[in-house]
Amino acid sequence: MIENLGNLERTHSCGALRKEDVGQRVTLMGWCAKRRDFGPLTFIDLRDRDGITQIVVNQENAAEAHAKAKEVRGEYVLAVTGEVALRDEGARNPKHATGDVEVQARDLVILNDARTLPFQLDAPATEALAAEELRLKYRYLDLRRPQLQGNLRLRHRLLLEINRYMDEHGFTQIETPNLIKSTPEGARDYIVPSRVQPGRFFALPQSPQIFKQICMIAGLDKYYQIARCFRDEDLRADRQPEFSQLDIEMSFATPDQIFTLVEGLFARVFKLIGVDLPTPFPRFTFAEVMQRFGSDKPDMRIEGMELKDLAPALTETTFAPFAGALGAGGQVKGMAVRGGAAMSRKTLDELQEFARRYGAGALAWIKLGDELSSSLLKALGTETVASMAEAAGTAKGDAVLIVAGKPSVVAASLGALRNEVARREELIREGVYAPLWVTEFPMFEFHEDDGRYYSMHHPFTSPLDEDVPALERAVNGEAQLFAGLRAKAYDAVINGVEVAGGSIRIHRRDVQAIVFKALGMSEETARARFGFFLDALGYGTPPHGGIASGIERTLMVLVPTENIRDVMAFPKTASAQDLMIDAPGEVDQKQLAELHLKIVRD
């Protein structure tokens, strides 16, 4: 029978009681995690966000409570009043912080009942969790699991620590609007129709980028915000359509000042999980990490496994895949895998399949086992293969994985293989946190599909001072110079995860105009899209720069987890749906009419 709470007040949480509390009369409230029935004696594991306390209900000294305990089922909501008792030596449970004691119930109130759950919260460790689809539909049940609650509390502590740190360093949190204007650059926008302005639309911000720069022009000097961002792009294990960023911008800032600020922040944040992050973070240029690791976010927990140029060992080769690649301005690069000679043919086949996803035509290999073996032996002969192995920096027992092709394909496939092989062969150092800065990103990126350059970071990113003359020449016809232009852009990477990215911005109207021109934007287009911003740049804009750090990505490293849905309360599926509230949903005709919208079905 369900009873009212009345004036009954909770005295302790279910994780609070210890030996020192023995003898106290307490009232606990929580959910029945488990009931163990011994006839006249019934045990109930009472759970709340703080822990689990064992309740003992004995027919001999609490007949009424015992009768009610018989009715209790899993996830019933209970209030229990009784005395804290020390458990016998052999009856203690070291798995729970409260395991030395138990509560001898005098009164038990059933505050609410519960239907049988669609899945078990405390499934045996031998079993997998219930299907994620089911857990997302009943998110409020899945969130009862201590693991997820712990993640959300860590998220809270992260946000709190960020706010403290930014405040201590003189930053002001400023909220910027969520209903803004769509810009065609960058990610797809989520669009919101205006009722008041027929045929016009707001966009949800992909980031507060323009607004934070406007804050600098406004003289606010040091801005930050924990901002919600929206991007209507396909999802991944680490991407959701809405997510949070720590957004930072400061005036008169050098990259060094921003690096120091962010290093201090991450050092503070990692203390939350008891880790002393080594500062300052080592710095690498984009060109260097791409050449050595094939990735702009290398995992530095992996020792070695650097990409080596094998072209010098192949100067005289006629082997078509290699000669062809080298002749066409491509590369042949190899990566040594420590102990890789033990890799099976099956493993190598799987790795080739893996490499092909990144555009590699094939994955060649050399194994330095008791005998030299290689997929290239017939084509190249022992001598060439041996010199390739040497160029890759191998020792006996190692293997070399080799990809030939365009530099972008070689980097992408070997870069991905580096992570994949390290994971499979357990070459990732456990318990290590390896941060770095990647600097001097390219200004522009060529898109094959429409044959033009796009900003790699965003259109407000400043070029390196020494590259400005080349930028001007590139805009004035020497288009081949675009590819080599470098930006004052940087990323912070920890354990192969890009946890922050930013740049020094363009603060001069003339330089901004050149960059818009480089992006193929006419003056009219630039005015139409960013006229207000170009105007603002003309009224005394200080040099400024900043950075944004993904809250979820950072949490994924801290927890750690591979699944972004583990670090947010109400995530969406890979097809951007919320299974709990069944969103997105349809709206009725009246709402559509008010918004001046008609649905066109195709």
Site for RNA in 341-380 (CB under 7 A): 357-358
CB of 127 to RNA, least distance (A): 4
Residue number, 139 or 509, with CB nearest to RNA: 139
Residue number, 52 or 392, with CB nearest to RNA: 52
Query: What region, left, alpha or beta, does residue 343 occupy, with left being phi > 0 and alpha being psi -120 to 50 degrees?
Result: beta
Q: How far is CA 42 from CA 97, 118, 581, in A?
A: 21, 25, 38
- Residues in 61-120 at the binding interface with RNA, rule: CB under 7 A: 73-74, 87-88, 90-93, 95-96, 99, 102, 116-120
Q: In what order do the strands lie in the sheet with 399-405?
A: 307-309, 331-337, 399-405, 364-368, 372-374
- Residues in 406-425 at the binding interface with RNA, rule: CB under 7 A: 412, 416
List beta partners, residue 112: 77
Residue number, 11 or 58, with CB nearest to RNA: 58
- Please identify, among the stretches 127-135, 162-170, 360-368, 538-546, the one whose residues bind RNA according to the rule CB under 7 A: 127-135
Residue 251, interface with RNA (CB under 7 A)? no
Residue 579, interface with RNA (CB under 7 A)? yes
Planar angle of CA 332, 338, 341, nearest 5 degrees: 85
CB of 35 to RNA, least distance (A): 8
Residue number, 4 or 126, with CB nearest to RNA: 126
- Please identify, among the stretches 29-37, 219-227, 368-376, 553-561, the one whose residues bind RNA according to the rule CB under 7 A: 29-37
CB of 454 to RNA, least distance (A): 7
Q: How many residues bind RNA (CB under 7 A)?
A: 77
* Number of alpha carbons in the 13 Å side-chain half-sphere of residue 213: 27
- Residues in 145-204 at the binding interface with RNA, rule: CB under 7 A: 186-188
CB of 596 to RNA, least distance (A): 26
CB of 373 to RNA, least distance (A): 28
Query: How many other CB atoms sit within 10 Å of the CB of residue 130?
Result: 17
Cis peptide before 584 (omega within 30 of 0): yes
Residue number, 43 or 201, with CB nearest to RNA: 43
Q: Can you give the three-state secondary structure of 429-497, one letter per residue?
A: CCCCCCEEEEECCECEEEECCCCEEEECCCCCECECHHHHHHHHHHHCCCHHHHHHCEECEEEEEECCE
* Number of alpha carbons in the 13 Å side-chain half-sphere of residue 489: 22
Record the tokens describing residue 293, joined without a space.
């690791």
Residue number, 319 or 437, with CB nearest to RNA: 437
Planar angle of CA 34, 39, 45, nearest 5 degrees: 20
Residue number, 128 or 196, with CB nearest to RNA: 128
Residue 45, interface with RNA (CB under 7 A)? yes
Residue 22, interface with RNA (CB under 7 A)? no
Judge contact between 272 and 558, C-beta under 8 A. yes
Residue 399, interface with RNA (CB under 7 A)? no
Residue number, 394 or 502, with CB nearest to RNA: 502
Residue 242, interface with RNA (CB under 7 A)? no
Residue number, 392 or 485, with CB nearest to RNA: 485
CB of 40 to RNA, least distance (A): 4
CB of 412 to RNA, least distance (A): 6
Judge contact between 527 and 538, C-beta under 8 A. no
Residue number, 35 or 308, with CB nearest to RNA: 35
Residue number, 40 or 177, with CB nearest to RNA: 40
- Residues in 278-337 at the binding interface with RNA, rule: CB under 7 A: 296
Residue 128, interface with RNA (CB under 7 A)? yes
**Quick check: helix, strand or coil at residue 233?**
coil
DSSP-H helix ranges across 230-371: 255-271, 286-293, 320-327, 345-356
As a residue count, the chain comes to 602
**Which of 16, 41, 273, 287 touches RNA by CB under 7 A?**
41
| Residue 97 DSSP class | T
d(CA 489, CA 265): 19
- Please identify, among the stretches 128-136, 154-162, 249-257, 528-536, the one whose residues bind RNA according to the rule CB under 7 A: 128-136
Residue 130, interface with RNA (CB under 7 A)? yes
**Which of 5, 63, 67, 131 touches RNA by CB under 7 A?**
131
Record the tokens describing residue 102, joined without a space.
């138990």
CB of 225 to RNA, least distance (A): 15
- Residues in 515-574 at the binding interface with RNA, rule: CB under 7 A: 548, 563, 565, 573-574
Q: How far is CA 221 from CA 75, 169, 490, 501, in A?
A: 52, 12, 21, 20
- The closest alpha carbon to 587, from 232, 192, 190, 243, belongs to 192
* 247 phi and psi angles, rounded to 5 deg: -110, 125
Judge contact between 444 and 456, C-beta under 8 A. yes
Residue 124, interface with RNA (CB under 7 A)? yes
- Please identify, among the stretches 130-138, 271-279, 396-404, 524-532, the one whose residues bind RNA according to the rule CB under 7 A: 130-138
Residue number, 386 or 576, with CB nearest to RNA: 576
- Residues in 469-508 at the binding interface with RNA, rule: CB under 7 A: 489, 491, 501
Provide the mask over 425-444, with x wherever binding to RNA is found by CB under 7 A and - wherever it is not: ----------------x---
